Amino acid sequence: MASLYLASGSPRRRELLAQIGVPFVTLGAAIDESALPDEPAHGYVERLALEKARVGLASLADNTDAVVLGADTAVVLDGQILGKPQDRSEALAMLAALSGREHQVLTAVALASRTRSAVQVVTSRVTFRPLRPGEAEAYWATSEPCDKAGSYGIQGLAAVFVSQLQGSYSAVVGLPLCETAQMLNEFAIPCWQTVPVNS
């Protein structure tokens, strides 16, 4: 059986993979995450996920039976990618822009082995209720938005802002589990490996 490596430092992605019973080893895959000029959001997340998987694969001393998973998530509003906030003012501006509106969350998952690679992008639609005065400031004070695309985490405190979700909840968190499981199966990595089975 192939060995799975996760080219991501995201604790959310580690938790999601563990949730479906897939053992893995985490490795680093530092890449430039800057968007290219006029690059569409779909192409951006697809490119970064593939690049992370391929850089991770290249970093292994022996990749004979290795499969590396890379993923990337982008929050998109009016065609603009909202990345991780640089500071308080940027986070508050993002949250104000998302307030009372629908936005897209695009998550790409890529797998790379020595012989092939595959990538898939999952799009979900998330609607925020209108934020009340002071809510964005109070949310920023929790420090949760600091390392989140779009300045929020649906799996955390910001769940109270989300009035509607169309698509994959796990994809919004950072890894579309249904699609990831199907892709892993194609690379001969089954799910539920670490789940106890009653005999």
Q: Say how far apart CA 100 and CA 67 lie, in whole Å.
A: 41
Instruction: Calculate the dihedral angle through the C-alpha atoms of 166, 53, 28, 174, rounding to the nearest 10 degrees.
Output: 0
Confidence label for 199 from pLDDT (cuts 50, 70 and 90) = low
The catalytically annotated residue of 38, 65, 72, 147 is 72
Average pLDDT, rounded, for the chain: 95
Give residue 43's pLDDT band: very low, low, confident or very high (50, 70, 90).
Answer: very high
Query: Which residue, 160, 179, 181, 161, is CA-closest to 171?
Result: 179
Helix (H, G, I), strand (E, B) or coil at 51: helix
**CA–CA gap between residue 55 and residue 152 (Å, rounded):** 28
Identity of the residue numbered 70:
G
The whole-model pTM stands at 0.93
pLDDT given at position 9: 87
**Does residue 57 contact residue 115 with C-beta atoms inside 8 Å?**
no
What average pLDDT score do residues 26-37 get?
A: 91
Indicate the pLDDT class of residue 148, thresholds 50, 70 and 90. Answer: very high
Residue 192 has pLDDT above 70, yes or no: yes
**pLDDT of amino acid 196:** 78
Active site (annotated) includes residue 38: no
pLDDT value for 1: 76
